[in-house]
Amino acid sequence: MRRLSLCLFALMALPATAHASEDEQLWTTTSATVKLSDHWRLQQEIVARFSNDRDGLYEVESNTLVGYKLNERMTVWAGYTHDPQYDGGDFTVMEHRVREQVTFDNILKLGPVSVSARMRMEQRWREGIDGTAWRLRVDFH
């Protein structure tokens, strides 16, 4: 587990290009996880995103995931994201995503603070647009 933690921290240290923007945004998230059994979980998450540049609501992600808890700290998940997108309140395109992720709970404890991580891979496609986009993302919280 220690080696895995070091690898995750190393990934976060990789440099990324920053792009300045004047757009003010608000992202809201609501989620619920239901324990189906000792190992199985069901999670529903809704993310609504608002932007000044897009005159308000521009995206509503609905993420449905099924998880299997491997042990006390690690859960593997698979699911689907339904993501209609808007511009100025008008529908523009429907995006679909297949999501796989692994969550690591309480991998580091610093006094009363615990650190968890999520590694997620998504395959995205938009209706009427050729090609599939792939994304790998690591989050610490």
DSSP per residue, 39-103: SEEEEEEEEEEEETTTTEEEEEEEEEEEEEE-SSSEEEEEEEEEEEEEETTEEEEEEEEEEEEEE
**Is residue 1 very low, low, confident or very high in pLDDT (cuts 50, 70, 90)?**
low
pLDDT in tens, 87-110: 988 999 999 999 999 999 998 888
The per-residue pLDDT for 5 is 53
| Chain segment 35-76, per-residue pLDDT in tens | 999 999 999 999 999 999 988 999 999 999 999 999 999 999
Bridge partners for 27 per DSSP: 49
- What is the value of pTM for the model shown? 0.75
